[in-house]
Structure 1
Amino acid sequence: MQANVVVVGSLNMDLVTRAQRLPQAGETLAGESFFTVPGGKGANQAVAAARLGAQVAMVGCVGADAYGQQLRDALLGEGIDCQAVAIAEGVSSGVALIVVDASSQNAIVIVAGGNGQLSPASVMRFDALLQSAEVIICQLEVPAETVEYTLARGHALGKTVILNPAPATGPLPAHWFGHIDYLIPNESEAAALTGLPVNDLASAKVAATHLLALGVGKVIVTLGAQGAVFADGTGFEHFAAPVVQPLDTTAAGDTFVGGFAAMLARGEGVREAIAFGQQAAAISVTRAGAQPSIPYLLEVQTVVTA
């Protein structure tokens, strides 16, 4: 399979409960519902890119358990090349424990499991996939050395390299920035990367300027209902978010990244890719769950052309 988008990252089984509000420390709340659904930022972005028009390969690692088989099967069902999704003995698959409140905000605890076993050597073994890609996507739910290797290798191969720095807990290593064509943080991630407050358009522009100065090619700061700010060193552009009634924001950012990457891989311009990713993300927040909420290409095209 020739993959024009390769995702190197995490696969998690999401264990999701809905409650009226998020619990306080030491508090027990009654939940309203519970379900399990395939997730993980890497897998979500792979599914989004596949549903939104790209040929996709996933590089990752799951545990030798029932969740691991379900996670692989979910990707295979989307037509995603899983030859590079390894199965690690002696560890669980990654899981995410998610609580969603009545206003559709969420709190998430992640256990890495097999994701922590994804090494640079794991990526090296499938270098042919990187060579066949137009776009390579990474996040931060696998070991940092694996992300670093993938960014550097993708850059050396002349590929379009995207880093979605999630979850971000602080600044990135300085030598990473020169390998990144598109850095796509949300407001909290941009704040963690820069040490600056990011909560509106003006502060997003300040953070983007800071990140560009560190050597990244282009920055897209996603701001939820406030849209997105694109910066490339020549100026800024604000993309207003489509107006929808949100149900569950889980995987909205992943849907944006996957849709954006799929459009770049098809040769679309960055502005068209951003607008497309926003439309896809807007649809996703009207649905529950991570991967089940991600729309298909025809759904987004129908909205765009309406």
Structure 2
Amino acid sequence: MLLTSQSIFLASSALFSAVQAQPHGPHGHTHQHATSKRATGVVTGRGIVYADGNTGMGALDGKLSWSTDWTAWEDNPSNANLGTFAPQVWGLDVPKTQFLSAFMNAASSFPEGSTLFGFNEPEIYTESWMTPQTAVDNWGGIDGLKTSHKICTPCVSNGAQNDTSGTGTVTGQYLSGINQGINWMTEFLAAAKDYKFDCLCMHFYGGQSNTVAEDQAMIESQVSAMASLASQYNIPDLIISEMARVNGDQECEFVSWFEGTFLTDSQYADSGKKVTAYAYNYNLDTLTSGEKLTSVGSAYIGEDSC
């Protein structure tokens, strides 16, 4: 999701407080440029997701494995080496905005072996918003690219919207206290039985008033559920293409725990150790300040501890 307006997510468990994150929408202009000539291939390890116009990324030059920016094109004003670029088809074509068509038109310029992400948070009204069946019905062209690219599922969030900001699309009605992203992905994969996926894509945002411990438990629960779906459908890789802890308090500690414990410790073998790639949301302005890394940024790239 590209930050355009605020929406509120509900945590996947009654133990957690309401989750507030800023939704990500499409870029408001038509792209005409080619894709990046940087290294391509299956994305792995540490990355970032950023938006048109984001600056200060020079502080991350050469320190990331991959990046994405919600489009088929790499819009990197810092011209920093952000590693492998992963194009994304943000959503379906809508009046005055061509998403799927533009993505398919650009596909011939994608370097061979690129990882391609599907629709952005289709279960959320303010994002690409579509039913699982609608996504399947429009997946044929994307699936046709799998002969030379790695294809990820649509990327779902870890929350459900509240009744003031939209409706979920699994049922077409707002449902309280459930994880719309997991439900949407479950229905999508069941309906997409004719397609094969190289990676399952998800997002994670912590709770606005959650403690670090609550966010740790929430991401473990969310990733475990997604890892189970990936195993059920023989999808080899699990990718978190967007993540952040919305509550800025102790964010550095959460990042250090995520990389130093969650992704490696045996106690998280059924969840964290199955994550093959992850990208922090650079657009939230927590990794850098000006042209310098913050303490969160330094911890994220492994150059310093909190």
Name the TM tier (shorter chain): 0.3 to 0.5
Please report the TM-score for the alignment, with normalisation by the length of structure 1. Answer: 0.39
Q: Normalized per residue, which structure has more helix?
A: 1
Q: Normalized per residue, which structure has more strand?
A: 1
